[in-house]
Copies of this chain bind each other. A is one copy, B any other.
Amino acid sequence: MTYCLGMKLDAGMVFASDSRTNAGVDNVGRFEKMRVYEKPGERVIVALSAGNLSVTQNALGLMDHQARKDPHATHFNNASSLFEIAGALGDAMREVQRRDGEYMRANKIDASASFIVGGQIAGEAPRLFLVYTEGNFIESSRETNYFQIGEIKYGKPIIDRVLTRRTSLQDAVKCALISFDSTMRSNISVGPPIDVLVLETDALRVGVTQRLDEGDPYLTQVRQAWSDGLKRLYVQMPAPPWYSETPALQQAAQQAQQ
């Protein structure tokens, strides 16, 4: 399983992906899930992928291959709009599914896959898209300003609580790492390294990329501070007014602590 996250804020965009690929517990590999296409001053496009690795790799590979044969084929490097790129990526995924899907389904292999693709091309505002396994796609909006793919649920509540369009990029990075921490704690197949990319609005060049490996000091600090803070917060929560332990239970608990 994979977890990838793309956030679109007024100040820019934050992308994050883990690099673990899981094909059964005894076969956990690491592959990069983040591809970056940058022409400083003209475009930065980031594609995050989740799902069947052969499908996502082949969809990207097919786009590269077609662009080499035909310089007019839509590619990350030449498209005039992110909308065009999302469509081309969906088409490429459909082509791969047509070629390979039947053979995978015959062996009950899950052929589903998806992409988050976003960034900015000179002449348009930053844009963020989610491309589904069927090749259709949606764009982020004022109300929905982030997309997740892969193992999305464990890490969703914290984003829903704190992220708004006005969140700063630094704060969005914090939010992304907390979201990854919740996911990693509950699903062992998602794990470091985590790749993070920050892109400022209208910069048209990558702000920063950072790979956070297992044991990375900042990642460790955030995970620890979050975990300790949550436990403190939990202890401070009010107790239910309609239930208290019976005296015998309270005594047993006190003895257990001594």
Interface, chain A (partner B; CB < 8 A): 10-12, 153-154, 156-158, 160-162, 166, 168-171, 173-175, 178, 182-183, 185-186, 196, 198, 200, 203, 207-208, 210, 218, 221-222, 225-227, 229-231, 233-246, 249, 252-253, 256
Evaluate contact between B186 and A160: CB separation under 8 angstroms.
yes
How far is B168's CA from A239's CA once the two chains are assembled, in angstroms? Answer: 11
Evaluate contact between A169 and B208: CB separation under 8 angstroms.
no
**Within the complex, what minimum Cβ distance (angstroms) separates A76 from chain B?**
24
Taking a contact as CB atoms closer than 8 A, the residue among B11, B233, B245, B256 that contacts A226 in the complex is: B233
* Interface core residue of A160, A210, A222, A239 (most chain B CB under 10 Å): A239
How far is B256's CA from A154's CA once the two chains are assembled, in angstroms? Answer: 32
Residues of the B chain whose Cβ atoms lie less than 8 Å from the Cβ of A170 = 239-240, 243-245
Residues of the B chain whose Cβ atoms lie less than 8 Å from the Cβ of A157 = 154, 157, 182-183, 185-186
A236 touching B229 in the complex, CB below 8 Å, given contacts A11-B253, A185-B160: yes
Residues of the B chain whose Cβ atoms lie less than 8 Å from the Cβ of A256 = 10, 166
A230 touching B233 in the complex, CB below 8 Å, given contacts A153-B154, A238-B221: yes
How far is B153's CA from A14's CA once the two chains are assembled, in angstroms? Answer: 24
How far is B169's CA from A246's CA once the two chains are assembled, in angstroms? Answer: 10
Residues of the B chain whose Cβ atoms lie less than 8 Å from the Cβ of A156 = 154, 186
A242 touching B185 in the complex, CB below 8 Å, given contacts A174-B234, A230-B161: no
How far is B158's CA from A207's CA once the two chains are assembled, in angstroms? Answer: 33
Residues of the B chain whose Cβ atoms lie less than 8 Å from the Cβ of A207 = 243, 246
How far is B25's CA from A78's CA once the two chains are assembled, in angstroms? Answer: 42
Taking a contact as CB atoms closer than 8 A, the residue among B10, B173, B186, B240 that contacts A243 in the complex is: B173
Residues of the B chain whose Cβ atoms lie less than 8 Å from the Cβ of A210 = 240, 242-243
Extra A-B contacts (7), CB below 8 Å, given A169-B249, A218-B238, A218-B240: A153-B154, A157-B186, A162-B234, A168-B245, A207-B246, A226-B237, A230-B230
How far is B229's CA from A12's CA once the two chains are assembled, in angstroms? Answer: 27
A-B contact pairs, 12 of them (CB 8 A): A11-B253, A153-B153, A156-B186, A157-B186, A162-B230, A170-B243, A170-B244, A171-B235, A173-B239, A174-B238, A174-B239, A229-B233
